Chains A and B, each alone.
Chain A
């Protein structure tokens, strides 16, 4: 259609102006897509930092265990049969854990130090694959599966004067009422950054703990890691609907503060889009409107030779929509590209910034983005809408244009 051809060529007529306008539109769109991806990344890290060491995205245990854990309330280690298929496909990994309290002591006959500690027993391979537990090791190594290994929190190790290779006497009561005791060797020392945790926590292998605590093939909890942590609530309710012997608790119930942010997230995103584009609209609108006023005479001629106002409006609309859509697509591609790169290769800024603890989680100084359909589509659609908005005033002017007057002026 000729209208489209005219619109297209008009864009190339004042090349510099078109380039500048489109450049600004592309830049703002790319920045916006990037920002939204960064917001999502920020939220994801917040959630992941809150969930990955402790409860996972969904915490599965016997009903009531989450609220008041006891040694005896253990569930089977194998729960695969209880998980519906439509949940399995969303699961990235499962980490089973046992949890107990024990006295840990270290030292010689003469000078012995004893501390009560919280013990968590983990499947080291599952943790390596899913959680960041191993990342906290500051000295020595993570678990390797050897029955006698134990990891100590930095504070705890200091209190009992233990170091790598030290012998630790483990003393606790087993689920059957018998006494559980064992000599373990310190394999590694970890620091999570949380002092409370580091001064009371020890980690050991699941198999060894099951034997010691007389809980063979039983665990206290399964922590699900999901492909998309935002789906935790949905997955938990599917699990709870499918069976009654286990209770699934999503991270949203565990970290209500973070869940609250999630609720207003869409609003935050829309607001950001609105702010960005309000500024954008002013810039593009001006140039588009100038370009339109310059061509008033041309429009009058077209109207004189028989082009209806409807078709002329279409011409203006085509020009601004072509420009907005092209800029939107290019900008989205750039922004989304940056998001994808930072999703796979986050940039660590910890050399320049400190992490902040908040709402049961921590905010890490890391440049990490999550590309999502919404954060890509929202700016693109808004940009196309902007195209319509920018065409509105010229179109209105056009409807009031008296061709004779415009012709006489030219």
Chain B
């Protein structure tokens, strides 16, 4: 069963007299365990599509199913719950809570999910180990480099065992070395822990690591191919 499936998805922005068809009829399905990238130039609709899939935005037309559930019908608070339990977000600007330490940023998710406190450490520490963050647990985001912050963001996205991780240009703020390192980490999590990833990028080096490349242009999918290992 696919984790995400969209049918003829459309999102039209009306700015004054002009209409922008940011996503213009996308039918897409992501299977469990995939490591897929949305590739395409700036303005091609990647962010809009990810937001629609993540329930942050509502489509003008078409439908989004997440884990078999139709998102269109859900109320705002239901969408928030769906994001909490089913989706892990990674943002271009990291977006960690600045007043919380790296550890607390990750713990925050477990707490609002209602995971008992006694379970937090055993869920977070191995993840920090895996992501090379063990020594940085008590630092605040301001005391971490961009690459380190983004790894904390990865930990935060993954810790709640979501069905899929959505990452909008996760490497755009990183230098190419950190970018590739981060992608390799994400790929390893994908292979070892079977975490499903859908991320966007226009960086060729990053795109090359993906196992499936979905190319977008003008709000439409213009190419979708899987690499053979």
Contacts of B98 in A (CB 8 A): 13, 298
State the CA gap A410–B95 with chains docked (Å).
9
Least Cβ–Cβ distance between A235 and chain B, in angstroms: 57
Q: Which segment, of A189-197, A279-287, A303-311, A322-330, faces chain B?
A: A303-311
User: Which of A9, A305, A407 neighbours the largest number of chain B CB atoms within 10 Å of its CB?
Assistant: A305
A304 touches B83 (CB 8 A): yes
Partner of B81, one of A13, A297, A308, A404: A308
Contacts of A298 in B (CB 8 A): 95, 97-98
Q: Answer yes or no: B104 CB below 8 A from chain A CBs.
A: yes
Partner of B80, one of A1, A9, A306, A408: A306
Q: Answer yes or no: A116 CB below 8 A from chain B CBs.
A: no
Residue on B nearest A10 in the bound complex, by CB: B99
Q: Say yes or no: A301-B99 contact (C-beta < 8 A), given A308-B77, A309-B80.
A: no
Contacts of B54 in A (CB 8 A): 304
Least Cβ–Cβ distance between B127 and chain A, in angstroms: 16
Residue on B nearest A7 in the bound complex, by CB: B99
State the CA gap A2–B95 with chains docked (Å).
17
A and B contact pairs by CB, cutoff 8 A, 26 listed: A2-B107, A2-B108, A2-B111, A6-B97, A6-B100, A9-B99, A13-B98, A297-B95, A301-B91, A301-B97, A302-B97, A304-B56, A304-B95, A305-B89, A305-B109, A306-B81, A306-B84, A306-B109, A307-B84, A307-B112, A308-B77, A308-B81, A311-B112, A404-B51, A408-B47, A410-B95
Q: Answer yes or no: B57 CB below 8 A from chain A CBs.
A: yes
Least Cβ–Cβ distance between A217 and chain B, in angstroms: 78
B84 touches A5 (CB 8 A): no
State the CA gap A310–B78 with chains docked (Å).
12
State the CA gap A301–B94 with chains docked (Å).
10
Contacts of A6 in B (CB 8 A): 97, 99-100
State the CA gap A10–B160 with chains docked (Å).
25
Q: Say yes or no: A2-B83 contact (C-beta < 8 A), given A305-B156, A311-B112, A407-B56.
A: no
Q: Answer yes or no: A403 CB below 8 A from chain B CBs.
A: yes
Contacts of B97 in A (CB 8 A): 6, 298, 301-302
Q: Answer yes or no: B93 CB below 8 A from chain A CBs.
A: yes
Q: Answer yes or no: B224 CB below 8 A from chain A CBs.
A: no
Residue on B nearest A405 in the bound complex, by CB: B57
Restricting to A286-324, which residues have a CB under 8 Å from any CB of B?
Answer: 297-298, 301-311
A305 touches B84 (CB 8 A): yes
Restricting to A372-406, which residues have a CB under 8 Å from any CB of B?
Answer: 403-404
Residue on A nearest B90 in the bound complex, by CB: A305
B80 touches A303 (CB 8 A): yes
Contacts of A304 in B (CB 8 A): 54, 56, 83, 89, 91, 95
User: Which of B93, B97, B107, B156 neighbours the largest number of chain A CB atoms within 10 Å of its CB?
Assistant: B97
Least Cβ–Cβ distance between A311 and chain B, in angstroms: 7
Q: Mark B94-126, 1 if CB is under 8 A from A, else 0.
A: 010111100010011101110000000000000
Contacts of A13 in B (CB 8 A): 98-99
Residue on A nearest B166 in the bound complex, by CB: A304
Contacts of B99 in A (CB 8 A): 6, 9-10, 13
Least Cβ–Cβ distance between A338 and chain B, in angstroms: 36
Residue on B nearest A297 in the bound complex, by CB: B95
Partner of B91, one of A5, A310, A407: A407
Q: Say yes or no: A5-B89 contact (C-beta < 8 A), given A298-B98, A305-B156, A306-B80.
A: no
Q: Say yes or no: A9-B51 contact (C-beta < 8 A), given A306-B84, A306-B112.
A: no
Q: Answer yes or no: B8 CB below 8 A from chain A CBs.
A: no
Residue on B nearest A298 in the bound complex, by CB: B97
Contacts of B208 in A (CB 8 A): none
Least Cβ–Cβ distance between A261 and chain B, in angstroms: 51
A306 touches B85 (CB 8 A): yes
Restricting to B12-69, which residues have a CB under 8 Å from any CB of A?
Answer: 47, 51, 54, 56-57
B89 touches A2 (CB 8 A): no
* 9 more CB-based (< 8 A) A-B contacts, given A9-B100, A309-B80: A2-B108, A6-B97, A298-B95, A298-B97, A301-B91, A301-B97, A305-B89, A403-B56, A404-B57
State the CA gap A9–B105 with chains docked (Å).
13
State the CA gap A298–B99 with chains docked (Å).
11
Contacts of A303 in B (CB 8 A): 80
Least Cβ–Cβ distance between B185 and chain A, in angstroms: 20
State the CA gap A258–B51 with chains docked (Å).
70
Q: Answer yes or no: B143 CB below 8 A from chain A CBs.
A: no
Restricting to B152-186, which residues have a CB under 8 Å from any CB of A?
Answer: 156, 160
Q: Answer yes or no: B130 CB below 8 A from chain A CBs.
A: no
Q: Say yes or no: A5-B104 contact (C-beta < 8 A), given A301-B95, A404-B57.
A: yes
Contacts of B100 in A (CB 8 A): 2, 5-6, 9
State the CA gap A307–B112 with chains docked (Å).
7
State the CA gap A306–B93 with chains docked (Å).
18
Contacts of A302 in B (CB 8 A): 97
Contacts of B73 in A (CB 8 A): none
Least Cβ–Cβ distance between B88 and chain A, in angstroms: 8
State the CA gap A1–B100 with chains docked (Å).
13
State the CA gap A312–B190 with chains docked (Å).
32
Residue on B nearest A303 in the bound complex, by CB: B80
